Amino acid sequence: MKTVWIAAGFAAGYVLGTKAGRERYEQIAQAAQDLANKPAVVDAQAKVKQLAERGREAVMAKVGGDDSAHVVTSREHATVAP
Write down the domain spans for the chain: 2-77
Phi and psi torsions of 57, nearest 5°: -65, -40
pTM above 0.85, yes or no: no
Q: What is the pLDDT of residue 51?
A: 94
Contacts of 60 (CB under 8 A, 6+ apart): 66, 67, 69
- Note the pLDDT tens digit of each residue in 23-68: 777 887 888 889 889 999 899 999 999 999 999 999 999 887 655 5
Mean pLDDT value of segment 13-27: 75
Confidence of residue 71 (pLDDT cuts 50, 70, 90): low
